[in-house]
Amino acid sequence: MSQQRPFVVGVTGGIGSGKTTVCREFQKLGAPMVDTDQVAREVVAPGTPGLAAVVDAFGPEVLMADGQLDRRRVRQLVFATPDLRLRLEAILHPLIRQATDAQVAAAGYPYCLVCIPLLVERGGGNRVDRVLVIDCPPEVQTARVMVRDELTAPEVAAIMRSQASREDRLAAAHDVLENSGDIATLRPQIAALHARYLQLADEVTR
């Protein structure tokens, strides 16, 4: 008998909204989480077919001396040439999707969180059973990212402009966690969502 695929909750939000922080709280309650940013790094680790394909397309100049992919160099190349971005995405997206699906299937829990920063931008809503948006006023987002990533306010603003608007993201949400205060104030809401996701997972497998 094949094992049932877990109920998938896509977690999204703008940069610095608190996706990682909130997911960690769910994990403390026992929920598994797949971080697609992490998966994106795994599929181009040294020795992977993903890295070989990227080097084929971009040349050995995208490799660092230690054999790791030079992500900064790749970012510069795709920024300068939009066609290269499409090529890179054509290589990486199927690999990321496959590896994510495999990790979700192996999670061994009724539901699984999948953190997808650009879920709304990429129209990924159809690949998840439910969308949880971590919401935060732009001023709070900016202040947190300036500290975390040592960026200036204009640098953070440029990243935020390249992402979906707060309104578009909220429009795609089934559930919203407002993360502008202390994380402790969110814990009861996180616990309630955790219970709800277990219940929803139970309903779909019945």
Least CB distance to ligand ADP at residue 68 (A): 23
Please report the DSSP string for 3-33 in residue order: PPPPEEEEEE-STTSSHHHHHHHHHHTT--E
Q: How far apart (Å, rounded) are the C-alpha atoms in residues 165 and 170?
A: 9
The 3-state DSSP composition of the chain as helix, strand, coil percent (nearest 5) reads: 55, 15, 30
Q: Dihedral through CA 90, CA 94, CA 95, CA 96, nearest 10?
A: 100
The residue from 8, 9, 15, 116 that contacts ligand ADP (CB under 6 A) is: 15
> Judged by CB, which is closer to ligand ADP: 66, or 182?
182
The residue from 31, 51, 130, 144 that contacts ligand ADP (CB under 6 A) is: 144
Least CB distance to ligand ADP at residue 16 (A): 4
183 binds ligand ADP (CB under 6 A): yes
The 16-55 site mask, x for binding ligand ADP (CB under 6 A), equals: xxxxxx----------------------------------
Tell me 94's DSSP state: H
Tell me 69's DSSP state: B
Least CB distance to ligand ADP at residue 185 (A): 8
Interface with ligand ADP (CB under 6 A)? 13, 15-21, 144, 148, 179, 182-183
